[in-house]
């Protein structure tokens, strides 16, 4: 896999947040992995996956990491920061990958972006 080199970011960027379930899939692989790998292939500035301990969404089904109510479909939040143009270009592809979930964006001010 050929990965584009890292690049600088302008001070004003967008933060893309993707809320999905741990068990969500895309083409028979975990959705979160598919999204992170695709973002990397496209040379997006960076992505971080966070695994939640508890949450619920539109279905109102509670997902919980407690021992008494062990859920294997825990909430996941994937954050990607990049320029508004790159985030907007990625959204149509992301929507095709996600049959369910929540996608949000917000302005982000880059303070430091160094290896």
Compute the average pLDDT of residues 32-58: 89
pLDDT higher at 111 or 71? 111
E strands in 36-74: 46-51, 54-55, 63-64
Tell me the CATH number of domain 16-109, given options 3.30.1490.20, 3.30.70.120, 3.40.190.10, 3.40.640.10. Answer: 3.30.70.120
Residue (of 103, 113, 89, 82) closest to 31 by Cα position: 103
Predicted TM-score of the model (pTM): 0.81
pLDDT confidence of residue 74:
83
Check whether 3 has a pLDDT greater than 60: no
Confidence of residue 64 (pLDDT cuts 50, 70, 90): low
């Amino acid at each position: 896999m050929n990965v584009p080199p890292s690049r600088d970011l302008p001070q004003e960027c967008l933060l893309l947040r993707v809320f999905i379930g741990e068990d969500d899939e895309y083409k028979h692989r975990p959705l979160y992995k598919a999204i992170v790998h695709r973002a990397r292939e496209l040379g997006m500035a960076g992505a971080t996956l966070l695994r939640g301990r508890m949450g619920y969404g539109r279905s109102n089904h509670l997902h919980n990491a407690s021992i008494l109510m062990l859920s294997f479909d825990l909430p996941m939040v994937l954050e990607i920061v990049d320029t508004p143009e790159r985030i907007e270009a990625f959204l149509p592809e992301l929507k095709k990958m996600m049959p369910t979930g929540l996608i949000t964006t917000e302005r982000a001010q880059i303070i430091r972006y160094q290896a």
